């Protein structure tokens, strides 16, 4: 087992280098760069703003004249020292950008995941108990309907009808805090944040119910058909006990490993939700930095999420190994 | 049982949280605060390194420069200078500075700040390529006394006064501290001399200015300006209706469809005014298809510009015929747009040798079919819809057009490398233009003349006009130049489209000048 863990950890290093190198290569090879982009905005250039020599001179300033491999080596050397560099756009440290955006995205995602789990798991269990009945079908139908609704459309409808202007005025129109946030006490602050989170979290969650509840339903059904459930029933346990003590606990294992793989997903923000609700999270940060070829930010985000993905996979593997003796056995060989 | 009960408990908790959080917090809004919508966050607010439109508009309330353009006449007038002198050879520009001007931190403004700013602009280590281009011909800036500076130009140039007078000025005592200029901490904490001073930047949310109590000029009535960053235009409009924004620019569809209710008109002014801009379709003359000016004329006559304007932009705009801003004195109004006339266009094409000789439905000449690709920026909805209409209209006369969409960064790269057949784009111009960068034959390789427009007479006019200091003579020259451009049709000129702005009726004295709106003169109405 120790050997297995060590092996898994060692594999992470070359994989990480591979992922980041390919990313760096792709950005450098992609046409367009930050300097020439400054000649204009979408569909509109500033008259007289293009001059080759001066632009070439500026590219040197950012090392864009160096070969890709040298550029990557320099980046890697700095990153190992945890220096992610500064953003091209505003000269701020990349770390500061991530420190601004990450808590926002994390809080949105954690809320959404909790809500998805709280709603989907009971629904999944219910569907598995009522397998193939009318209730099961109606639940599936509704969940799949929700799943198919495009989020930008739902988000705009929610805002239009629930956030003032011409219709109901129940929720704020965007952002995470009110303008008067600083004057509130701690409970009011929490309430204010929640009040702002309701619509974005709704938009982020409604599409997620279908997957998780179907997944729960399937794993539950797997377990329910096992012989030990039959045994439990045979020894006269109540149906509740059979379901929640014996069946559900066993079906939890795959759900837990699913959570481990969700670790890197926590970092990723939704560009659509963030831009509609004016939330400056990781999604917008990544999206804008790619469009503007802001290499330091792109690289920082990729390497952090690559690292977390690898850790997530690693944890999932370890969990499997702990949960399933067959994997453990194979690993020691 | 246990389990379900626990679940029910959780649900109740959540519902409780939601209900309590719905309690609304009312805050009294200060009527002297102006809320302005911006759709994207500027990187920073250093006038030397930033060239984003949003940053310049915010900076115009924080930073000042030697000369300013009058809001109505558009003539240059003193701002931080009291007067200026031009040497007879038109190479030296001397500015006398106002005394007793202070930066927001209390330090006096002197000639040293200007000399330092110029040094920084020219510094190869400073990332300001778009600005550097303008200062190529400025050789030096000298301090003659703490309140006199002299700019030396390499050659006489009619825009020299404007370029010298509009030099972005940053405080030397703040920026000259040995740290890197590109990443200086005050890039995001500007210190200027203008009517407002910067107070706060909430990343991704707001940028806030307050009135500068020590301002040398007329103090504005509005005490605080808050720029709110709202990326989604529909959401911004809703915020405006809700009273959370006072000023925003509309998209044509919002102007026409979503802001006409009586209720809206009661609370908001709607302003439409033109700014120096036009869009166009550029024909790459290096492509054999577009080499002949008659072909380019025929193409223009195949494009129903007025109908496209009416259907895509709800008629909000004017068809233009040449390379100047339509309300600029140089624009030649005697030239009428080429008419939409497919029959005549086909005739011109036939005379130019294009006919469908093999009967495949596509025009050809010497065995080459009339097939090309229009390159557009994928995020531009206007370009997308325009391209679709053109494709259909061209197909009717036997011209096959493909559409290539590229992300903006790639698009700019293609244009820069001259790797396109035809392209649609817009130019945002300055108030007083010089066609050199866009139209002089020397600019076909590395400048902005990417459609390979080469014309000896045009070159001569452009060169002579640069040295001509008599505005009347320049007007004559540029109007002739406009004629040449119209005759050559290197572009099919499309439209000058107006700015569409809504302002809350909380304010009075909201005037539309030639230069646009000026927040410093607005008055707050106190009901």
Q: What is the ipTM of this complex?
A: 0.79
Name which of B409, B442, B446 to mutate to probe chain A: the one with the most chain A Cβ atoms within 10 A of its Cβ. Answer: B409
pLDDT attached to residue B373: 95
Nearest chain A residue to B430 by CA: give it. Answer: A47
Q: Answer whether A186's CB lies under 8 Å from B264's CB.
A: no
Rounded-to-integer distance, Cα B235 and Cα B39, Å? 11
A28–chain B Cβ distance below 8 A for any pair: no
**Over residues B171-177, mean pLDDT:** 93
Rounded-to-integer distance, Cα B393 and Cα B400, Å? 10
pLDDT attached to residue B2: 47
Q: Answer whether A274's CB lies under 8 Å from A281's CB.
A: yes
For strands B491-493 and B277-283, give the pairing: antiparallel
A61 CB neighbours in chain B (<8 A) are 124-125, 127, 182
DSSP three-state, residue B363: coil
**Chain pair A-B, CB pairs under 8 angstroms:** 225
B188 CB neighbours in chain A (<8 A) are 90-92
- Per-residue pLDDT of B486-525, as tens digits, reads 999 999 999 999 999 999 999 999 999 999 999 999 999 8
- Per-residue pLDDT of B149-167, as tens digits, reads 999 999 999 999 999 999 9
Q: How confident is the model at residue A297 (pLDDT cuts 50, 70, 90)?
A: very high
The string over A40-72, giving b where at least 16 C-beta atoms fall within 10 Å of a residue's C-beta and e elsewhere, is bbebbbbbbbbbeebbebbbeebebeeeeeebb
Q: Answer whether B398's CB lies under 8 Å from B370's CB.
A: yes
pLDDT attached to residue A242: 82
**Over residues A157-182, mean pLDDT:** 81
Max mean pLDDT among A175-189, A283-297, B470-484 falls in: B470-484
Q: Which of B330, B317, B325, B240 is nearest to B515 (CA)?
A: B325
**Are residues A36 and B438, on separate chains, in Cβ contact within 8 Å?**
no
DSSP three-state, residue A253: helix
* Residues in Cβ contact with B373 at an 8 Å cutoff, skipping those fewer than 6 apart: B401, B402, B403, B404, B420, B421, B422
Q: If you average pLDDT over every residue of chain B, what do you get?
A: 90
The shortest C-alpha distance from A102 to chain B (Å) reads 13
User: Which of A:47-106 have CB within 8 Å of B?
Assistant: 47-55, 57-58, 61-62, 86-87, 89-92, 100-101
Q: How confident is the model at residue A333 (pLDDT cuts 50, 70, 90)?
A: low
Half-sphere exposure of B333 (CA within 13 A, CB side): 5
The rounded percent of chain B whose pLDDT value lies above 70 is 94
Rounded-to-integer distance, Cα B193 and Cα B64, Å? 6
The shortest C-alpha distance from B508 to chain A (Å) reads 23
B43 CB neighbours in chain A (<8 A) are 87, 89-91
Three-state SS sequence of A273-305: HHHHCCCCCHHHHHHHHHHCCCHHHHHHHHHHH
Rounded-to-integer distance, Cα A275 and Cα B232, Å? 6
From the number of C-beta atoms within 10 Å of its C-beta (0-12, 13-18, 19+), residue B3 rates as middle
Rounded-to-integer distance, Cα B492 and Cα B44, Å? 36
Out of A36, A164, A180, whose CB is closest to B242? A164
**Over residues B441-451, mean pLDDT:** 84
Statement: residue A328 has pLDDT above 70:
no
Name which of A33, A37, A44 to mutate to probe chain B: the one with the most chain B Cβ atoms within 10 A of its Cβ. Answer: A44
A195–chain B Cβ distance below 8 A for any pair: yes
- Lowest mean pLDDT of A38-52, A143-157, B50-64, B189-203, name the range: A38-52
Statement: residue A48 has pLDDT above 80:
no
Token pair, residue B480, equals 């002739």
**Over residues B393-398, mean pLDDT:** 92
C-beta neighbour count of B77 within 10 angstroms: 12
pLDDT attached to residue A8: 83
Out of B180, B184, B383, whose CB is closest to A43? B383
**Are residues A47 and B448, on separate chains, in Cβ contact within 8 Å?**
yes
**Over residues A14-31, mean pLDDT:** 90
Rounded-to-integer distance, Cα B182 and Cα B187, Å? 8
DSSP three-state, residue B201: strand
Rounded-to-integer distance, Cα B18 and Cα B20, Å? 6
Going from the C-alpha of A146 to that of each of A22, A149, A202, A214, B103, the distances in angstroms are 37, 5, 11, 14, 57
Going from the C-alpha of A260 to that of each of A78, A86, A153, A208, B502, the distances in angstroms are 29, 31, 31, 17, 50
A179 CB neighbours in chain B (<8 A) are 27
Statement: residue B446 has pLDDT above 60:
yes
Three-state SS sequence of B222-257: CCEEEEEECCCHHHHHHHHHHCCCCEEECCHHHHHH
Statement: residue B192 has pLDDT above 80:
yes
The shortest C-alpha distance from B428 to chain A (Å) reads 5
pLDDT attached to residue B23: 46
C-beta neighbour count of B501 within 10 angstroms: 21
Out of A46, A50, A91, whose CB is closest to B428? A46
**Are residues B21 and A86, on separate chains, in Cβ contact within 8 Å?**
no
DSSP three-state, residue B526: coil
Q: How confident is the model at residue B13 (pLDDT cuts 50, 70, 90)?
A: low
Out of B3, B14, B27, whose CB is closest to A179? B27
B133 CB neighbours in chain A (<8 A) are 48-49, 51, 54
**Are residues B430 and A86, on separate chains, in Cβ contact within 8 Å?**
no
Q: What are phi and psi of A87, to 5 degrees?
A: -70, 140
Token pair, residue A318, equals 């370890």
For strands B224-229 and B33-38, give the pairing: parallel
**Over residues B284-307, mean pLDDT:** 94
**Are residues B446 and A159, on separate chains, in Cβ contact within 8 Å?**
no
* Residues in Cβ contact with A50 at an 8 Å cutoff, skipping those fewer than 6 apart: A36, A39, B416, B437, B446, B447, B448
Q: Answer whether B450's CB lies under 8 Å from B285's CB.
A: no
Q: Answer whether B485's CB lies under 8 Å from B322's CB.
A: yes
The string over A228-244, giving b where at least 16 C-beta atoms fall within 10 Å of a residue's C-beta and e elsewhere, is ebeebeeeeeeeebbbb
A169 CB neighbours in chain B (<8 A) are 242
For strands A44-46 and B507-508, give the pairing: unpaired
Q: Which of B185, B252, B360, B77 is nearest to A93 (CA)?
A: B185
Half-sphere exposure of A15 (CA within 13 A, CB side): 15
Statement: residue B1 has pLDDT above 70:
no
- Per-residue pLDDT of B354-374, as tens digits, reads 998 888 889 999 889 999 999
Higher pLDDT, A82 or B215: B215
Half-sphere exposure of B33 (CA within 13 A, CB side): 14
Q: How confident is the model at residue A293 (pLDDT cuts 50, 70, 90)?
A: confident
Statement: residue A49 has pLDDT above 80:
no
- Per-residue pLDDT of A194-235, as tens digits, reads 888 889 999 888 888 888 888 888 888 888 888 888 888 888
The shortest C-alpha distance from B168 to chain A (Å) reads 17
Q: How confident is the model at residue A113 (pLDDT cuts 50, 70, 90)?
A: confident
- Per-residue pLDDT of B19-59, as tens digits, reads 444 444 445 678 899 999 999 889 899 999 888 888 999 99
pTM of the model: 0.85
Name which of A51, A248, A286 to mutate to probe chain B: the one with the most chain B Cβ atoms within 10 A of its Cβ. Answer: A51
The shortest C-alpha distance from B468 to chain A (Å) reads 20
Q: Answer whether B509's CB lies under 8 Å from B220's CB.
A: no
For strands B247-249 and B499-504, give the pairing: antiparallel
pLDDT attached to residue A87: 87
Out of A39, A175, A194, whose CB is closest to B21? A194
Rounded-to-integer distance, Cα A121 and Cα A119, Å? 6
Rounded-to-integer distance, Cα B53 and Cα A41, Å? 9
DSSP three-state, residue B172: helix
A182–chain B Cβ distance below 8 A for any pair: no
* Residues in Cβ contact with A216 at an 8 Å cutoff, skipping those fewer than 6 apart: A120, A121, A123, A124, A125, A128, A251, A255
- Per-residue pLDDT of A69-107, as tens digits, reads 888 998 999 888 888 888 888 888 899 999 988 888 888
Q: Answer whether B497's CB lies under 8 Å from B315's CB.
A: no
The rounded percent of chain A whose pLDDT value lies above 90 is 11
**Are residues B187 and A90, on separate chains, in Cβ contact within 8 Å?**
yes
Nearest chain B residue to A117 by CA: give it. Answer: B7
pLDDT attached to residue B133: 81
**Are residues B410 and A31, on separate chains, in Cβ contact within 8 Å?**
yes
Nearest chain A residue to B423 by CA: give it. Answer: A43
Rounded-to-integer distance, Cα A76 and Cα A296, Å? 11
Statement: residue A2 has pLDDT above 90:
no
Half-sphere exposure of A83 (CA within 13 A, CB side): 7
pLDDT attached to residue B25: 46
Rounded-to-integer distance, Cα B461 and Cα B454, Å? 13
Statement: residue B5 has pLDDT above 60:
no
Rounded-to-integer distance, Cα B507 and Cα B486, Å? 44
pLDDT attached to residue B87: 94
Nearest chain A residue to B445 by CA: give it. Answer: A52
**Are residues B183 and A91, on separate chains, in Cβ contact within 8 Å?**
yes
């Amino acid at each position: 087992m120790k050997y297995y863990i060590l092996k898994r950890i060692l594999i992470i290093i070359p994989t990480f280098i591979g992922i980041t190198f390919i990313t760096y290569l792709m950005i450098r090879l992609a046409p367009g760069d930050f300097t020439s982009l400054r000649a204009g905005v979408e569909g509109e250039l500033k008259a007289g703003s293009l001059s080759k020599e001066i632009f070439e001179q500026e590219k040197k300033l950012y090392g864009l004249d160096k070969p890709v491999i040298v550029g990557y080596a320099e980046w890697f050397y700095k990153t190992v020292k945890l220096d992610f560099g500064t953003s091209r756009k505003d000269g701020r440290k990349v770390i500061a950008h991530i420190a601004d955006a990450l808590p926002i995205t994390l809080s949105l995602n954690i809320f959404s995941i909790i809500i998805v789990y709280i709603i989907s798991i009971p629904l999944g269990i219910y569907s598995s108990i009522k397998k193939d009945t009318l209730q099961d079908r109606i639940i599936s139908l509704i969940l799949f309907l929700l799943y198919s609704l495009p989020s930008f459309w739902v988000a705009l409808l929610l805002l239009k009808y629930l956030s003032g202007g011409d219709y109901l005025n129940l929720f704020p129109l965007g952002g995470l805090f009110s303008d008067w946030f600083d004057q509130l006490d701690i409970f009011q602050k929490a309430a204010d944040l929640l009040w702002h989170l309701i619509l974005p979290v709704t938009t982020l969650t409604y599409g997620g119910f279908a997957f998780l509840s179907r997944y729960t339903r399937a794993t539950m059904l797997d377990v329910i058909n096992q012989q030990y459930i039959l045994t439990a029933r045979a020894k006269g346990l109540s149906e509740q006990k059979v379901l929640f003590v014996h069946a559900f606990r066993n079906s939890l294992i795959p759900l837990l490993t699913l959570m481990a793989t969700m670790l890197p997903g926590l970092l990723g923000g939704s560009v659509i939700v963030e831009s509609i609700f004016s939330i400056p999270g990781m999604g917008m940060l990544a999206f804008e930095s790619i469009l503007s070829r802001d290499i330091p930010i792109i690289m920082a985000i990729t390497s952090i999420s690559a690292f977390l993905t690898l850790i997530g996979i690693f944890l999932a593997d370890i969990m499997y190994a702990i949960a399933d003796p067959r994997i453990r056995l194979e690993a020691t060989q | 049982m246990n389990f379900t009960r626990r679940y029910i408990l959780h649900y109740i908790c959540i519902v409780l949280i939601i209900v309590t959080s719905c309690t609304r917090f009312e805050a009294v809004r200060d009527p002297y605060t102006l809320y302005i919508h911006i759709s994207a966050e500027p990187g920073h607010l250093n006038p030397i390194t930033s060239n984003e439109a949003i940053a310049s508009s915010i900076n115009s309330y924080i930073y000042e420069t030697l000369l300013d353009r009058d809001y109505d006449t558009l003539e240059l007038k003193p701002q931080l200078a009291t007067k200026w002198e031009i040497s007879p050879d038109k190479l030296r520009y001397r500015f006398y500075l106002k005394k007793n001007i202070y930066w927001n931190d209390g330090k006096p403004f002197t000639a040293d700040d200007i000399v330092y700013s110029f040094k920084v602009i020219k510094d190869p280590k400073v990332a300001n390529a778009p600005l550097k281009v303008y200062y190529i011909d400025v050789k030096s800036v000298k301090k003659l006394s703490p309140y006199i500076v002299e700019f030396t130009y390499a050659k006489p140039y009619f825009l020299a006064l404007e370029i010298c007078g509009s030099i972005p000025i940053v405080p030397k005592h703040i920026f000259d501290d040995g740290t890197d200029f590109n990443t200086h901490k005050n890039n995001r904490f500007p210190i200027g001399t203008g009517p407002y001073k910067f107070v706060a930047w909430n990343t991704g949310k707001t940028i806030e200015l307050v009135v500068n109590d020590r301002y040398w000029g007329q103090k504005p009535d509005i005490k605080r300006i808050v720029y709110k960053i709202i990326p989604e235009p529909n959401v911004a409009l809703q915020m405006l209706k809700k009273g959370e924004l006072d000023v925003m620019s509309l998209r044509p569809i919002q102007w026409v469809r979503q802001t006409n209710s009586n209720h809206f008109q009661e609370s908001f002014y709607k302003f439409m005014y033109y700014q120096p801009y036009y869009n166009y379709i550029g024909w790459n003359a290096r492509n054999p298809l577009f080499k002949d000016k008659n072909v380019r004329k025929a193409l223009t006559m195949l494009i129903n510009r007025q109908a496209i304007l009416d259907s895509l932009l709800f008629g909000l705009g004017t068809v233009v015929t040449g390379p100047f801003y339509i309300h600029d004195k140089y624009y030649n109004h005697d030239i009428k747009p080429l008419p939409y006339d497919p029959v005549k266009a086909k005739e011109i094409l036939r005379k130019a040798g294009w006919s469908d000789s093999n009967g495949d439905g596509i025009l050809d000449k010497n065995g080459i079919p009339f097939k090309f690709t229009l390159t557009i920026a994928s995020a531009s909805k206007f370009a997308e819809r325009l391209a679709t209409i053109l494709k259909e209209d061209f197909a009717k006369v036997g011209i096959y057009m493909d559409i290539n969409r590229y992300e903006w960064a790639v698009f700019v790269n293609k244009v820069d490398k001259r790797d396109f057949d035809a392209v649609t784009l817009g130019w945002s111009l300055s108030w007083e233009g010089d066609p050199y960068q866009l139209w002089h034959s020397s600019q076909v390789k590395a400048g902005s003349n990417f459609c390979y427009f080469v014309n000896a007479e045009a070159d001569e006019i452009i060169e002579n006009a640069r040295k001509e200091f008599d505005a009347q003579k320049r007007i004559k020259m540029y109007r002739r130049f406009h004629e040449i451009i119209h005759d050559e049709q290197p572009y099919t000129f499309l439209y000058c489209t107006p700015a569409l702005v809504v302002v809350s009726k909380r304010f009075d004295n909201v005037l539309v000048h030639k230069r646009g709106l000026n927040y410093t003169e607005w008055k707050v109405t106190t009901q």
